Structure 1
């Protein structure tokens, strides 16, 4: 992937500023993020390509802050003085070499956190609307994206338990047992959830 491809992927012209590159990446990354497009392989590939293009451009396009600092430093080195508007003898100024700031990689953690809570809001809407298959699919996709996030595991387990309870009311007892077991397995250290699931199992036994 050359620089021209990177700019085109981000929808920019060659020579775009650091701020434009950053803004375009953030907008497109949110649009094509796998959490927003679960099971969409093309969106996932697009997201990966966008991230690679962004990283490459960061290595060759300086931030405005660094560009301004470099320009000021060069001016000092050329003149060796600061103009005061008077006829006083110029004062020699010692300029120390400034280290360019370390360019940060794309803040994917911040993006993932925004997507995490946006997904949580959608999950709540699915559960409240009793759209349980969609809620489960969404919870599982988020858990696959953030496998070490304990909050996400809790949301997934609660989604399993809520659907299991709904299945009991629909007399789909075998399927209900499966999802209640999934709830315990997904978040085994959640004591409150365990108590609720045990009560659901007791209700199941009464119905057999």
Structure 2
């Protein structure tokens, strides 16, 4: 079971704090506990999945939280910390899901996925690039739908997400030039 599935099983976003993970687990565990639902195999299997998801996220929290406990108080360095193996795994699973979402034109899901990942990995250049491309794709789709105001908003978000990407900037600026929004 990967981290993305764990968050989905608990009904949480990728950027959820660990307190929210605990609260979601407790709420769902109370609903599906075998003592409450005697003889209900479906509730029992759901309880097992919920417990496994919580344990995986708790282990991830323990591993990432343990590094923070043992750090000596030193001045902050400008380099961001290297993402853990679990964060890297989550990143690439999210990338695969992003590809599927963009191919199926599920832009809302793709944007939510990238915003959650950008919140989780704020210093990752690849994530910023993917986020910019996602906004660009949605903005282009909105242009095709003649929704110029929304398109302009998402094209600008693409520039803000990845401001150092020259090709993205050229593409966005070219699209923004085609938008004619009358003055009100």
Query: TM-score when scaled to structure 1?
Result: 0.54
SS in 2 for 1:144: helix
TM-aligned CA distance change 1:28 to 1:50, over 3 Å: farther
Deviation at 1:38, TM superposition (A): 4.5
Equivalent positions of 1:51-62 (< 5 A) are 51=60
RMSD, aligned CA: 3.2
* Alignment partners' CA distance in 1, 2:156 and 2:175: 11
Q: Which residue of 1 aligns with 2:153?
A: 178
Q: Which residue of 1 aligns with 2:88?
A: 113
1:138 aligns with 2:147: no
* Alignment partners' CA distance in 2, 1:125 and 1:150: 21
Equivalent positions of 1:23-102 (< 5 A) are 31-32=5-6, 38-39=12-13, 44-45=21-22, 46=54, 49-51=58-60
Maintained 8 Å contact 1:157/1:184? yes
Where structure 1 has 5 or more consecutive residues not aligned to the other structure, the ranges are: 1-26, 56-107
TM-aligned CA distance change 1:53 to 1:173, over 3 Å: closer
TM-aligned CA distance change 1:202 to 1:54, over 3 Å: closer
* Alignment partners' CA distance in 2, 1:52 and 1:126: 28
Maintained 8 Å contact 1:154/1:187? yes
1:168 corresponds, among 123, 134, 143, to 143
Maintained 8 Å contact 1:156/1:183? yes
Deviation at 1:111, TM superposition (A): 1.4
* Alignment partners' CA distance in 2, 1:122 and 1:114: 12
Maintained 8 Å contact 1:139/1:155? yes
Query: TM-score when scaled to structure 2?
Result: 0.60
- Greater C-alpha radius of gyration: 1
Deviation at 1:198, TM superposition (A): 0.7
* Alignment partners' CA distance in 2, 1:202 and 1:28: 43
* Alignment partners' CA distance in 1, 2:130 and 2:94: 11
Q: Which residue of 1 aligns with 2:168?
A: 193
Deviation at 1:121, TM superposition (A): 0.8
Q: Which structure would you say has the larger RCO, counting Cα contacts within 8 Å and 6 or more residues apart?
A: 2
Count of residue pairs the alignment pairs up: 130
